[in-house]
Chain A
């Protein structure tokens, strides 16, 4: 990629701007502190955020969150909203290959003391229940063609209907775990083939299931509303739409190349391939994206049920006696149609969040009823050696970033760099010494995913807290991890 010079100026204590120049339609707005900004610049993510600003129909700014890093096309940690009536586009690269990669947080009534002594047993039970790793498949009976089509349309509701979890889990899921507008005919045979055996599986890479302890509570009122208190055990599930979503993105990136030519849209990077929101190509992609998003929600809902099974095996009882309740489920790779204030008007925009999380305020109709007084929970997984955060959305987020915030720690080091750093070290032993029990299916994963490979989630979350975008509610630390 061309390394072009750009001007950057500080416009707020944690806000930086690359002013609109040349072919940019809007400026770039980056949320970061000085240290994070240095890594963002070094990584070429700024140029990618600038490239996004070229896209037709983009509104107000091309945003980058503090955990931004180089992706393909759009930077990871990017947020961009498009107005269909102003020629706005939809871009599969602005959502990512892992459509609806996201996080689910579950609270329990167990405390650390109860679980510590049996953590290895629990980790083993989780490992047995949830297939993970390269080629992971067959967690549940392979769905038929008809069932797969239902998964596309119903999402998490399909899983609940098939005995995985409960109806009230849906209330505590973004979009209730079902994105409207899904069209199973928009999904290719290849995507169905890849997705069929993978429902209820974790996959590999940076996906994980974690057993956490809530170490600190910052906002008592929000924590209470979310059912979270200091010392309890919580569970995080981080995964996406598996091969189903990956193939769908691949399929549509190919058709978008043709759309670029058809609609005479010029992009500085092929991976920004897009089509107008109002075009048949754009609509078809969105209908397919909704299917993949729903597959991911069905997947996380199923995995939740398998996780509950593992806990029941080790501790006895059931979800109720274990106090297992879903806190929330968010996606961080998605495009959503949302109504936002643009100047004096209210407009429906197509908000792309790639490695960014929705963070809606108190009072918003999409904030679940039990949380409406405090705001939408936001789940920020850190790296496996340090902490994860539970945050809450604010009105400031609505005004500043289309109701969006960061998604995680963000990578700092390449996978090769991490492996070189790990040479001669046992990451597993290092984590064990910290009191974290890990089971990992893959041979390379642990080194590649080691804590140092990631930015400091404290800094990332801190920026968004200081900027008033999302407020810290609780800090969680892992005691058990399973990875693919």
Chain B
């Protein structure tokens, strides 16, 4: 197996998906895409509400860790976080999502925010126990960072860039 070509094809696919998402985003107005950073990996996410923004940011994280399409949404985990400010809340919650995979070995396929407000977020992750044979892993993410993290609102679009330490 030619690892180099395989990787190139694999990443080519991801970029294609990102481009497709962006194209849809012009119409559907929510999504995420990977962005460049020297030592780490960053995700830009956007949505028409804070809930959507959080969901897209989490999907961005999940897509860095593994290919969610290889995971069956067989069971549900509840993931919550609390913090004073929205940016802190987003980072705290993303690190909880990370923990579900890295600590509890539960592979997430999708995420839905159930409630968000008053410094608290509750969400549901659909997925299954991590299976090395079936789940295509990508990166070992150490953490979601606060670096340069600002939730921007332009009109009715919320946007954020999160840098993940890998």
A residues with CB within 8 A of B: 1, 43, 69-73, 76, 96-98, 133-135, 190, 193-194, 203-205, 243, 246-247, 249-250, 253-254, 257, 269-271, 273, 411-417, 419, 422-430, 440, 442-444, 446-447, 484
Contact = CB atoms under 8 A, between A and B. Distances in A.
B34 A416 contact: yes
A134 B139 contact: yes
Contacts of B104: 193
Given A205-B139, A443-B136, A411 B102 contact: no
B134 interface: no
B26 interface: no
A257 B4 contact: no
A413 B40 CA distance: 10
A243 B102 contact: yes
Given A97-B143, A243-B102, A422 B8 contact: yes
A449 to B, nearest CB: 11
B146 A253 contact: yes
Given A134-B137, A194-B103, A415 B4 contact: no
Q: Give the interface centre of B39, B88, B145, B165 by most chain A CB atoms within 10 Å.
A: B39
A279 B7 CA distance: 48
A70 B132 CA distance: 33
Contacts of B88: 254, 257
B110 interface: no
Count chain A CB atoms within 10 A of each CB in B65, B88, B137 and give the residue with the most.
Answer: B137
Contacts of A76: 39
Nearest to A484: B140
Contacts, number: 154
Contacts of A133: 137, 140
A-B pairs with the 3 shortest C-beta distances? A426-B4, A72-B147, A204-B140
Contact of A446 (B4, B35, B144, B145): B4
B4 A135 contact: no
Contacts of B83: 254, 257
Nearest to B11: A419
A193 B34 CA distance: 29
B13 to A, nearest CB: 12
A406 to B, nearest CB: 15
26 contacts: A71-B39, A72-B40, A72-B145, A98-B142, A135-B102, A135-B130, A204-B139, A246-B102, A247-B143, A249-B142, A257-B84, A269-B147, A270-B87, A271-B146, A414-B38, A415-B36, A416-B41, A422-B8, A425-B4, A426-B4, A428-B3, A429-B2, A443-B6, A443-B136, A444-B7, A484-B140
Interface of B: 2-8, 10-12, 34-41, 65-66, 83-84, 87-88, 92, 95, 99, 102-105, 130, 132, 136-140, 142-149, 163, 165-166
Contacts of A422: 4, 7-8
Nearest to B146: A270
Contacts of B149: 270
> A-side binding surface: helix, strand, loop or mixed?
mixed
Contact of A194 (B102, B130, B145, B166): B102
Contact of B3 (A273, A413, A440): A440
B92 A254 contact: yes
B4 A424 contact: yes
A273 B83 CA distance: 15
Given A72-B165, A97-B165, A424-B4, A250 B137 contact: no
B141 to A, nearest CB: 9
A444 B138 contact: yes
A203 B139 CA distance: 10
Contact of B147 (A69, A271, A419, A430): A271
A240 B70 CA distance: 29
B143 to A, nearest CB: 5
A478 B4 CA distance: 20
Nearest to B96: A190
Contacts of A203: 140
A72 B36 contact: no
Given A70-B37, A429-B4, A243 B146 contact: no
Nearest to A204: B140
